[in-house]
Amino acid sequence: MMSKYKYKSFALRLEMIKMNLSKILLFSLLVYILAFATLPTSAAEGGELMTDDDGNYNIRIEASQWEFKAFDLVHLDKLIADGMDEEEAMDGLEVKHRIGSFGKGSHIILEIVSRDVQHGFSINEVDVSIALNRPIVGSEFGSASIIEFDAPNENTIISGFCHVFCGLGHPDMKLKFVIGEGLPNYGLGVFWAVIAINTLIFGYTLRSVLTQIELITSEVTTA
Ligand SMILES: [Cu+2]
């Protein structure tokens, strides 16, 4: 009588532990996947920026729903002069989200066009703001708007953004400019902290589950 009751409770408890364990495993896995999917990248896209004969940067920015694509025109001209196909050269130089690094205090010339609707381009830190014309029917780009400004004379990051509401993805239209060495990046530290905490929680849970299994097993064997 007694041993039958014990056996039932053993099976039930083991089943519950198995259920919990799979939930925890799944949750842990999810945290790892999320953490790695959002792993901050610090690698520069598009290669090193080049300056023209006057020491200025010339950047073309193409705005479309809902992103900014930037191209280093000095580097582009050089690649084309070296015999590279224009399309191939543009593919290699295309930068989204983050462009740099620009020299501290350097002069930056932006040529900005829209590929679809009306957009805007603002950088609060250097007090520039411009509205972009949409392309007329039959042309791929709207007329170019030119902005010139001097980069701050310090290591920093300034943020370009669209200020004309252009649809659902409007808040995603951002382009950061890295000046000098930029700002210290805490992203990687946060990433490893998340991994470490997740591993700790997982390890602790696994240990207590194993302890419970050991306890049940010893109950069964001594029953
Ligand atoms: Cu917008």
- Report which of residues 24 and 95 the model is more confident about: 95
Residue ranges of alpha helices (H) inside 38-150 are: 73-81, 86-93
Alpha helices in 40-185 (DSSP H): 73-81, 86-93
| Cα 164 to ligand 1 centroid, rounded to whole Å | 5
Over residues 199-220, the mean pLDDT reads 84
136 Cα–ligand 1 center, Å: 18
Range 57-179: architecture per CATH: Sandwich (2.60)
User: What local confidence, expressed as pLDDT, does residue 44 receive?
Assistant: 56
Using the mean position of ligand 1's atoms as its centre, give its distance from the Cα of residue 217 in Å: 63
Largest CA distance in the chain: 95
Q: How far is the CA of 171 from the centre of ligand 1 (A)?
A: 7
pLDDT digits 0-9 by tens, 67-114: 999 999 999 999 999 999 999 999 999 999 999 899 999 999 999 999
Residue 1 confidence (pLDDT): 47
Q: Can you say whether residue 46 is alpha, beta or left, with left for phi > 0 and alpha for psi between -120 and 50 degrees?
A: left
Q: Has residue 115 got a pLDDT over 70?
A: yes
What's the gap in Å between 169 CA and the centre of ligand 1? 7
Give the Å distance between the CA of 107 and the centre of ligand 1: 26
Q: How far is CA 141 from CA 65, 69, 80, 88, in A?
A: 13, 13, 21, 19
Distance from Cα 163 to the centre of ligand 1, integer Å? 6
Name the β-bridge partners of 72. 59
Instruction: With beta carbons less than 8 A apart as the criterion, state whether 64 and 36 touch.
Output: no
What separation in Å is there between the alpha carbon of 97 and the centre of ligand 1? 14
For ligand 1, the distance from its centroid to the CA atom of residue 39, given in whole angstroms, is: 26
The Cα–Cα gap between 152 and 104 comes to 6
* pLDDT tens sequence across 31-72: 888 888 776 655 556 778 999 999 999 999 999 999 999 999
As a whole number of angstroms, the distance between CA 86 and CA 80 comes to: 6
- Reported as a single tens digit per residue, the pLDDT across 138-157 is 999 999 999 999 999 999 99
Cβ neighbors of 14 (< 8 A, separation 6 or more) are 213, 216
User: Over the stretch 64-75, which tens digit does the pLDDT of each residue have?
Assistant: 999 999 999 999
Mean pLDDT calculated for residue range 119-134 = 95
Please check whether residue 76 is in contact with residue 93, taking contact to mean a CB–CB distance below 8 angstroms: yes
C-alpha of residue 106 to centroid of ligand 1, in Å? 27
Return the domain boundaries, the chain: 12-39+187-222, 57-179
The least confident of 74-78, 161-165, 191-195 is 191-195
3-class secondary structure, 34: helix
Mean residue pLDDT across the chain: 88
Q: What is the pLDDT of residue 179?
A: 94
C-alpha 59 to ligand 1 mean position (Å): 20
What was the pLDDT predicted at 43? 53
What's the pLDDT at 14?
A: 79
* CB-based contact 148:110 (threshold 8 Å): yes
**Among the ranges given (2-6, 14-18, 58-62, 99-103), the one the predictor scored with the smallest mean pLDDT:** 2-6
Residues 9-30, mean pLDDT to the nearest whole number: 82
